[in-house]
Every structure is written in structure tokens, then in C-alpha cells.
Amino acid sequence: MRKITRITTQKKNKSRFNIFLDAKQGEEYGFSVDEAILIEYRLRKGMELDDEMIATLVENDTVHKSYTQVIHFLSYRMRTKKEIIDYLVKKEVDPEHIEQIMKRLVEEKLIDDQQFAHFFVQSRINTTTKGPVLIKKELMEKGVLAQQAELALENYSLDTQLEKIVKHIQKKLNTGKKEAFRKKVQQLQANLIQKGFTQDAITKALASMENETDQSKEWDALIFQGEKLLRKYQTKHEGFALRQKMTEALYRKGFSFELINQFLDEQRQN
């Protein structure tokens, strides 16, 4: 048995205490514990400890230190179980200790992947232009189960998707780029898929904007693209061959045959 001869507060950390034990020549430093361990085991001067108890105190203090680190890790934002386990593994915490810490966190309701998913989805809706498909992928990368992610994404309604998509489309269509409306829409479709919006939402949003074409801007874009192509092709082609070449190139750029023919007829008359 070893008797506690003195308990002192650490200078750099007032919540930790050094435990001194009796020795052949007076006393010697035994180990240190957190205030929580000190209180839990009612450690005091004159208390006797056997080797097994000392080992228990040291182990429990080690677990408590890791637990305290996790609490600090959680103080910045909510975390998933996977994120916390990855954090503890990185800190080289003993697997048995990780299990103890995770059990305590669940019991204290400090981690809840379903709740995390709900907050995460709402945050993404409020602060980003990401769609549900991409958000689900992010959640699963953080360790949230597919079923939990899908439940949380029920809050991301089709109406909310449509609102975000239409806003994004209007912004991009007014960038001033001299391109055909149809080409801009095709580019937007690819971009919206990358952002994680569902095909159903994209199709409905674009359908609602079919009449958004500004004919004046479309004509300006056609003149801009057409004159560029004329400079490119008229040195090598003329007549019907030039018209055919121009028609194919402008159609690929998204312009309608009606506008293309109007442009080419005007060029022929000039």
C-alpha cells in the first residue's frame, strides 16, 4: 500500500493535480489526475492506495483527458460518430478507451447522427447553392447512414430546389456572355447536376423558364458569333458551301434555324 503524502495543483493547469506518495526517503511524485477524478475517488492526504487502485486512477485519468479533448473538439460544431472516432484514432487513443468515450457521449446525448444530419442539411440549404444529391454524398462521407441522410433531406423540398435553381439560372443567364440561350441552358443543366440537384427539379425549373429568352439579346449574340465565324470561313468558302458551313456551326452553338437564316440572308444582302 502507498499513502498519499501531498496533493498539489499544477502551475500551468489549475484543474490538474499532482499526487505524491510516501517512499523510503520521505515522498516521491506518484501520478497526476484531473479534478474530476480527484473528486470522484475522493483523493486526499493520508489516503492509502494499492497498486491496482493506482493503475485504475491512471487509466481513468487517461480516458478523461481524451474525453476532455473530444468535448473541446465538439465545441466548434456538431460532429458525427465517425468524425469523433477518426479524431480519437488520430490522437492514438486506445481502442478500449475510444469505446468507453463513445458510449459516454451517446448517453450524454452529445452525439446524434440523425440530429447532425438535420442541422447539416438546413445549414447547407441556408448558406450554399448545393442540391440534395451532393449534400447526401457529403453526409455519407461524414459517416451518416444513407437512411438517416434521406430522412434529413425530406426538409429539402422540391419547391426549395426550384427556387434555388431558378435563382441560379437567372443569375447565369444575365452574365452578359454572347452565347445562344439554348447553349447557356445546356451548360446550366450540366452545372446544376454537378451541384447535386435532382433531374426532376432541373427539368421543371428549366420548363418554367422556356419563355425567358430575350430575343434582342439572342439576336445580338447571334451577330457576335456569326461575324466571328464569317471571318473564319469566308476565306475558304463561298456561296452555298459557306452558308451550309455557317448554318452547321451556328446551330451547334445553340441558335435556331429561323434566326440563323435571318442572319445569313441579311449578310447576303450586304
**159 pLDDT higher than 60:** yes
Torsion sign over Cα 205, 210, 211, 214: positive
Domain covering 115-155 in this structure, CATH number: 1.10.10.10
CATH code for 52-111? 1.10.10.10
Q: How far is CA 55 from CA 23, 28, 48, 66, in A?
A: 18, 17, 14, 17
pLDDT, tens digit, 9 for 90 and up, residues 18-60: 999 998 888 999 999 999 999 999 999 999 999 999 999 999 9
3-state secondary structure of 80: coil
Mean pLDDT, rounded, of the chain: 89
CATH number of 1-49: 2.40.50
234, 237, 243, 245 alpha-carbon torsion, rounded to 10°? -100
DSSP at 46? T
In this predicted structure, the answer to whether residue 211 has a pLDDT above a threshold of 60 is no
Tell me the C-alpha distance between 260 and 19, whole Å. Answer: 89
Check pLDDT > 70 for residue 210.
no
Q: Do domains 1-49 and 115-155 have the same CATH topology?
A: no
pLDDT band with cut points at 50, 70 and 90 for residue 213:
low
Closest residue by Cα to residue 180 from 259, 248, 265: 259
**pTM assigned to the model:** 0.71
Contact 213, 174 (CB under 8 A): no
- CB neighbour class for 252 (10 Å; exposed up to 12, middle 13-18, buried from 19): exposed
The pLDDT of residue 243 = 86
Q: What percent of the chain has pLDDT over 90?
A: 63
Domain definitions of the chain by residue range: 1-49, 52-111, 115-155, 157-213, 215-269
179-191: average pLDDT: 79
pLDDT band at 244 (very low <50, low <70, confident <90, very high): confident
- State the Cα–Cα distance between residues 223 and 176, nearest whole angstrom: 14
The CATH number for 157-213, chosen from 1.10.3720.10, 1.20.840.10, 3.10.350.10, 1.10.10.10, is: 1.10.10.10
Position 115 confidence tier, pLDDT thresholds 50, 70, 90 = very high
Q: Is the pLDDT higher at 70 or at 236? A: 70
| pLDDT for the residue numbered 230 | 82
